[in-house]
Chains A and B, each alone.
Chain A
């Protein structure tokens, strides 16, 4: 089945630094990738939708200058948390959509990245 690789699985960084998270679709081409954020005991909140070769579409309330998304190829999207602060500490998950949908509607999720800003 479709596999999405997300790295790193966990990262600790100092306040003020930037962190890049990668999301790769390993065996399919993903024209659309999604980035989610999950707080403890909360739902997965969609941050942005990225389409290959175009600018990401951010959800209301998400700072696009803080959460930079790049989707340069059909198999790779990156999320960069710039000038990270402790309140950015969270679990970030990417999802890639395979145009050859299937019963999962084409969505495959990465394993997530636990970001801790100290």
Chain B
């Protein structure tokens, strides 16, 4: 049962354009969402997060949008740069007030930014 879904395994974008990475979730208990960037043979690197009380969070070139009613979030990268090429994971947590803060990850989307 995939509670966090990234339905696009890959995305190719031209340098300078916008990259939009999508993520859907099924568990309504999730209340905190994170995006990670990962290179092969390395651990994930945190990019940006959003709490369920917000619908948008922006940090430089990265913006995350959350649509709670649709259980959907997206990561926008603009402008895209070749160095952004990596696998992007969406993750969710549903225990902001509890003691078990485990993350549930999507399968990832491979972003390729072409020069």
> Which residues of A does B touch, CB under 8 Å?
4, 6, 9-10, 32, 34, 41-46, 49, 57, 91, 93, 95, 97, 103-112, 114
Q: A24 → chain B, closest Cβ, in Å?
A: 13
Question: Across the interface, do B49 and A34 meet the contact criterion of CB distance under 8 Å?
Answer: no
Q: With A and B bound together, what is the CA distance between A57 and B9 in angstroms? A: 31
Interface residue count on the B side (C-beta < 8 Å): 23
> Is A46 within 8 A of B103, CB to CB?
yes
Partner of A112, one of B41, B49, B103: B41
Q: Within 8 Å CB of B44, what residues of A?
A: 44, 93, 109
Report yes or no: A105 in contact with B105, Cβ–Cβ below 8 A. no
For the complex, what is the distance from the CA of A49 to the CA of B99, rounded to whole Å? Answer: 11
How many pairs of A and B residues are in contact by the CB < 8 Å rule?
Answer: 61
Interface bits B45-88 vs A (CB < 8 Å: 1, else 0) = 11011000000000000000000000000000000000000000
Tell me whether A93 and B43 are in contact in the complex, defined as CB-CB below 8 angstroms, given that A46-B102, A49-B102, A105-B32 are known contacts. Answer: yes
Additional pairs, 9, CB under 8 Å, beyond known A95-B103, A105-B93, A107-B101: A10-B41, A46-B102, A49-B102, A104-B46, A104-B49, A107-B34, A107-B103, A111-B43, A112-B43
A44 contacts across to B, CB distance below 8 A: 44, 89, 105
- Closest Cβ of chain B to A66, distance in Å, is 20
Contact in complex: B103, A43 (CB < 8 Å): no
Least CB separation from A36: chain B residue: B105
10 contacts between A and B (CB under 8 A): A4-B43, A44-B44, A49-B102, A93-B44, A105-B32, A108-B46, A109-B44, A110-B43, A112-B41, A112-B43
